[in-house]
Amino acid sequence: MKRFVALTCEALARSVYAAAATAPHTVSVRLFRQGLHNTPTRLRNTLQAAVDVIDPGECDAILLVYGICGTSTIGLTARHTPLVIPRAHDCITLYLGSRQRYQQEFDAHPGTYWYSLDYMERAEPGMTLGVASGGIAEELYTQYVEKYGKDNADYLMEIMGEWGKHYDRAAFIDMGVGDGQAFEQMAHEQAQRRGWLFERKQGDRRLLTMQLSGDWPEDEFLIVPPGCAIVQTSDDGLIGVSQSG
Amino acid sequence: MIQEIREAVIHGQAKDVVPKVQQALQEGVAPDVILREGLIDAMREVGRLFEEGEFFVPEMLIAARAMKAALEILKPLLVDQGVEPLGRVVIGTVKGDLHDIGKSLVAMMMEGAGFEVMDLGVDVPSDKFIEAIRGGANILAMSALLTTTMPNMKTTIQAIHEAGLRPQVKIMVGGAPVTQAYADEIGADGYAPDASAAARKAQELLGK
């Protein structure tokens, strides 16, 4: 039996706890705020600091239960203990169980707005996914009017709101842990208001379970030896290691 | 008057810019002088303020909007005057990627620097970019906001190679997850971290 420390995002909380609870190893889970990914440098610094406070010998591996997350995990460096990270773009891959499945979903419907129980129940004010409220937009509009005048404020709101026009599907991922019915309903209602197609997707904890169980095939996980850093690559493996750190 | 146009552009006063440009033209100021000293110079200042952290994206957007309003009046006159653009840019967000704002801002900053810009929008497949290069674009600017869609920048560059068009176009890439290292790896000529730097990079790539 080995000891792992899993550093993960709130957006995966319930699924990671579930995988940790049944793993054949001793896994300590540390959660980080989901809003951090909006500023990749902050998430990267937070995770590096969390890696750095782990003492030598405290665990056999540090599991980064994250994707590239907008380059947030690129540059993270292993000190004395190896890091293990899935080859994934972001949490959607981890929700769906493989990057092939995410790619299929993405190719079929690039304009998908993803929802999940964890993401929604832990939403922070100002977050754009799922439960962005009208109140935030109104506050922003008032600020713009004060600063730039009504004409420009209207223009800015129109430009900033354009992202929504390119979306056509809302997908609620059910990870099979916890009762997400109320949130699924909320996602459904938002989809109806926006005129999007709504779909419910069954999540798959496969990758999470593999990571926490120490099952790390090379095509799905990257092991970062001590002294090495994570780098982005342009091949299908998405990430690699660099000696330079 | 030129100074007033410049100030109105910097402060994003689209409504004020238009009558001021018309007045300047009536007073006999040449369109290319208004373009250079009123608009391009203003957008350079906007870029500088952005890089110094005094301006943020909304300020850049409204300044670019004002610049565009003025440019619409000047465009036909510049053609009559025989003024050539700095270069011809085709820009777009790559296939599968629906992010618009950053790319549009780059397009506007490039226009503000004196380039002719063809904005193909979002979710642009390789063949559309290739068509534009065949149509005379000498700079291709591609944006990707997702690591999922970044590989499509590489695919597009390969397609341009295969079409035999690579020597005639400078390729630049950008977007939140894109880095200089990635740009080098996929064989792009340039990378810029923001819209202001992108306009400068485009000039640099054409040696201007």
Q: Nearest chain B Cα to A106, which residue?
A: B96
B-chain residues within 8 Å CB-CB of A238? 147
Q: Based on the domain organization, do B12 and B71 belong to the same domain?
A: yes
Query: Chain A 156-195, CB below 8 Å of chain B: which residues?
Result: 156, 159-160, 162-163, 166-167
Residue B172 has pLDDT above 80, yes or no: yes
Domain shared by B179 and B109, yes or no:
yes
- Cβ A106–B96 below 8 Å, yes or no? yes
What is the pLDDT of chain B when averaged over all its residues? 93
ipTM of the complex in this document = 0.79
Task: With H, G, I as helix, E, B as strand and everything else as coil, classify residue B99.
Answer: coil
Averaged pLDDT for residues A17-37: 95
A197 and A127 in one domain? yes
Q: Residue A192 domain-assigned? A: yes
Q: Check CB contact of A89 with chain B, cutoff 8 Å.
A: yes
CB contact under 8 A, A107 and B61: no
Residue A141 has pLDDT above 90, yes or no: no
Indicate whether A113 and A186 sit together in one domain. yes
Distance CA A57, CA A46 (A): 21
Residue A119 lies in a domain: yes
Co-location of B116 and B199 in the same domain: yes
| Position A232 in a domain | yes
Residues B111 and B58 reside in one and the same domain: no
Question: Domain range spanning residue B44?
Answer: 2-81
For the cut 60, the answer to whether the pLDDT of residue A130 exceeds it is no
Answer with the one of B25, B55, B81 that is the final residue of a domain: B81
Domain boundary pick from B42, B59, B81: B81
**CB–CB contact B58 A111 (8 Å):** no
Range of the domain at A33: 3-94+205-242
With a cut of 50, say whether residue A132 has pLDDT above it.
no
Decide if A110 and B182 are in contact by the 8 Å CB cutoff. no
- The vertex-B25 CA angle with B23 and B29, nearest 5°, equals 115
pLDDT in the model for residue A111:
86
How far is the C-alpha of B70 from the C-alpha of B178, rounded, in Å? 32
Kindly state whether residue A104 falls inside one of the protein's structural domains. Answer: no
> Same domain for A219 and A195?
no
Contacts of A162 in chain B (CB under 8 A): 100-101
Question: Average pLDDT for residues B121-143, to the nearest whole number?
Answer: 96
- Report d(CA A71, CA A74) in Å as an integer: 5
pLDDT of residue A194: 83
Model pLDDT, residue A163: 64
Give the mean pLDDT of B50-68.
Answer: 91
> What is the tens place of the pLDDT at every residue in B125-135?
999 999 999 99
Q: Which two tokens stand for residue B69?
A: 């309003």
**Domains contained in chain B, number:** 2
**Residue corresponding to tokens 């500023």:** A39
Asked whether residue A16 is domain-assigned, the answer is yes
Q: Residue B108's domain is classified under what CATH number?
A: 3.40.50.280
Q: What percent of chain B has pLDDT over 70?
A: 100
What confidence score (pLDDT) does residue B62 get? 95
**Whether residue A16 is found in the same domain as residue A136:** no
B6-29, pLDDT tens digit by residue? Answer: 999 999 999 999 999 999 999 999
Q: How many domains does chain A have?
A: 2
Residue A118, domain member (yes or no): yes
> What are A180-209's pLDDT values in tens digits?
999 999 999 988 988 899 999 999 999 999
- Write the CATH number for B28: 1.10.1240.10
pLDDT for res A133: 38
A96: exposed, middle or buried (C-beta count within 10 Å: 0-12, 13-18, 19+)? Answer: buried
**Would you mind telling me the total number of residues written for chain A in this entry?**
245
> Is the pLDDT reported for residue A1 higher than 90?
yes
pLDDT digits (tens, 9 = 90+) for A219-245: 999 999 999 999 998 888 999 999 754
Token pair belonging to A173: 């991922």
Average pLDDT over every residue of B180-201: 93
Per-residue pLDDT band for B100 (boundaries 50, 70, 90) equals confident
**What contacts A39, CB < 8 A, 6 or more positions away?**
none
Based on the fold, state whether residues B113 and B17 are members of the same structural domain: no
Confirm whether A231 is domain-assigned: yes
Residues present in chain B in total:
208
pLDDT band at A136 (very low <50, low <70, confident <90, very high): low
One domain for residues A138 and A196? yes
At residue A4, does pLDDT exceed 60? yes
Helix pair B41-51, B195-205: axis angle to 10 deg: 120
A164 has pLDDT over 80: no
Q: What is the widest separation between alpha-carbon atoms in chain B? A: 53
Query: What dihedral angle (degrees, nearest 10) is formed by the CA atoms of A39, A196, A206, A54?
Result: 10
